[in-house]
Structure 1
Amino acid sequence: MKWLFGLGATALAIAGFVWWFTSLPGPKQLDMANNAFPGDSNAKLLIKDQTYDKKLNLGMNIWASEEASDQPRPVVVFIYGGGWRQGSKDEYAFAGRALANRGYIVALPDYRLYPDAKFPAFLEDSAKALAWVHDNIARVGGDPERIFISGQSAGAYNVLMLALDRQWLGREGKSTDIIKGVAALAGPTDFYPFKGETRKNSFGSYHKPEMTQPINFVRADAPPLWLATGIDDTQVDPRNSRVLHYLILEAGGDAQYTEYPEMDHLEIMMAIAKPFRGKGPVLDDMVEFFESQN
């Protein structure tokens, strides 16, 4: 009978773990799965909860390589997605590890989310975070002359707007010239009129909706763009990346477009994490784009 009790206790423990694990946000589940696999071992959390906006109490985590370097390292500011309503810098540690393992200093900032904030608050926060990085990253071994910005979904929207619409960085006394390149994964670029609760919540009350759309800020002198999408994405139609790519090239700018077969909106981000890199070479392609701009 003892073994029956033991088996029952084990089953309850497993069920409890499964319930707890599935109750976590998706990115946190992905981060935990990522940590269960070997690799990216030379990445470390260099600074946790670095404040970049004292008034709003907004911070960032900064990741770096364990390996010493006598040269400043290139920098990636990664903005997470989540429909402008959810997400946390702590949930996306797997992205910090992945890029730090490739030799980058990685800043993962938080920003205000709905319902506490609507457009343009999340762009204002992202611009402040990028400005802070430009001013301070040299102190931790980063190169302020080689700053890339990246994001997925809502985060991709944020970084595209920072790169294309000069006003957001301009409010922080910065130029978009501080951006060496932009890697946007599954970014919404052309979504007016607003459909769906998420977009209506975050953008619907803004008095000039045309000012919310990245395609309305296409210019030849924008930072180089790498626009990536999964062909099976039903949340952000691949047309968004295709159209922006076409318009940037038509204007005489620098843009690359990559599409991944049999990959959807979430899987393009999952492919950054170790257990799912076999889905597609998203991480490799992103790093190749960054290196092509050095």
Structure 2
Amino acid sequence: MLFLAGFLPAMLTGCSPLAYINGAVPADASKTDTDLAYGPSPRQRLDIYAPIDARNAPVVVFFYGGNWRTGERADYRFVGDALATHGIVTVIADYRLYPEVAYPGFLQDAALATAWTYTHIARYGGNPGKLFVAGHSAGGYIAAMLALDPRWLAGVGMQTTQLAGLIGMAGPYDFLPITGRDLRPIFHYPDTPPDSQPINHVTAAAPPALLVTGTADTTVDPVRNTGHLGQVLQGAGASVQVIRYPNVGHKLLIGSLSRPMRWRAPVLDDIVSFVASTPAPAAKPEQ
């Protein structure tokens, strides 16, 4: 499925949708530092997009989707452009994929990338004291697990209380029992542990969350996943905002961050507003 009418020019010229939307990013829109290692594996690399005049700016670590099987950080240049040109230092991290790793290997990578960001982002103009994790689809799952399940950040010497917030974009947060055959080996079916589900880690201490989805999403059920997680967070007394965009599908949700498609839904505006209005954690992060 393409991102609707905005990709007609790409179809006519033979470009892929991602090439089309990334091609709309001006070369000098932000300061970029690419191919930075946060671990020894070839997949443990990240790119940084910073506002031209970044100084103590909020930081978003973004994880892309792809069923934990596919994805490349370079394909999400448009995400870095969108956030950096709105005052947010943005880190886009690769992580190891199946079959190189299964659950929880990609969570361990994501935690390591987040810890690297916390330690090093000040030199790129970011404020480690206002650090958000974000992701779309499988990446939304990863971000939610980092924010809600303390095991992963604890493994790299951090705490979930050091996060300013969670930005989940159409993530699968509650998907047991696993019905998709391609997902079963990734999560060790039929022995998938219940604690692999973000929904099972909600407490009142959860970081503030912005959960966004499209009502036309047929890939990740917006009611069972985004809606249910929002309800459970609210019931636990955590701070959560749920936004549903009418007639927006799974791919269009992330595509609407790109310059050609922002007219389709105010996803970027809502993310920028959430980051701006969410205070830094009350507790000073430990060094």
Q: Same fold (TM over 0.5)?
A: yes
Structure 1 match to 2:46:
60
Aligned length: 269
Greater fraction helix: 1
Between 1 and 2, higher relative CO (CA 8 Å, sep ≥ 6) is seen in 2
Bigger radius of gyration, 1 or 2? 1
Give me the identity figure in percent. 39
CA RMSD of aligned residues (A): 2.0
Structure 1 residue 209, shift from structure 2 partner: 2.0
Deviations 1:139-171 (A, max 9, x none): 221111011111100000000000000000001
Distance (whole Å) between structure 1 residues aligned to residue 11 and residue 187 of structure 2: 41
Does 1:145 pair with 2:129?
yes
Structure 2 match to 1:99:
83
Q: Which amino acid aligns with 1:292?
A: S
Q: Does the CA contact (< 8 Å) of 2:58 and 2:275 recur in 1?
A: no
Change (3 A) 1:205 1:92: same
Structure 1 match to 2:148:
164
Deviations 1:23-49 (A, max 9, x none): xxxxxx32x32244477953232x111
Change (3 A) 1:81 1:261: same
Task: Give the secondary structure class of the aligned counterpart of 1:63.
Answer: strand
Q: Which amino acid aligns with 2:64?
A: Y
Structure 1 residue 124, shift from structure 2 partner: 0.4
Does 1:194 pair with 2:178?
yes
Point out where structure 2 has 5 or more consecutive residues left out of the alignment.
Answer: 1-9, 280-287
Task: Give the secondary structure class of the aligned counterpart of 2:254.
Answer: helix
Deviations 1:177-210 (A, max 9, x none): 1210111000101100001123213113474520
Q: TM-score, normalised by structure 2?
A: 0.88
Change (3 A) 1:55 1:114: closer
Q: Which amino acid aligns with 1:143?
A: N
Distance (whole Å) between structure 2 residues aligned to residue 88 and residue 126 of structure 1: 14
Distance (whole Å) between structure 2 residues aligned to residue 180 and residue 42 of structure 1: 26
Q: Which runs of 4+ in 1 moved over 6 A?
A: 14-17
Q: TM-score, normalised by structure 1?
A: 0.86
Task: Give the secondary structure class of the aligned counterpart of 1:169.
Answer: helix
**Which of 203, 226, 232 is residue 247 of structure 1 equivalent to?**
232
Change (3 A) 1:179 1:38: closer
Q: Does the CA contact (< 8 Å) of 2:213 and 2:253 recur in 1?
A: yes
Q: Does the CA contact (< 8 Å) of 1:40 and 1:101 recur in 2?
A: no
Task: Give the secondary structure class of the aligned counterpart of 2:210.
Answer: strand
Task: Give the secondary structure class of the aligned counterpart of 1:194.
Answer: coil
Q: Does the CA contact (< 8 Å) of 2:43 and 2:96 recur in 1?
A: no
Does 1:34 pair with 2:21?
yes
Structure 1 residue 104, shift from structure 2 partner: 1.1
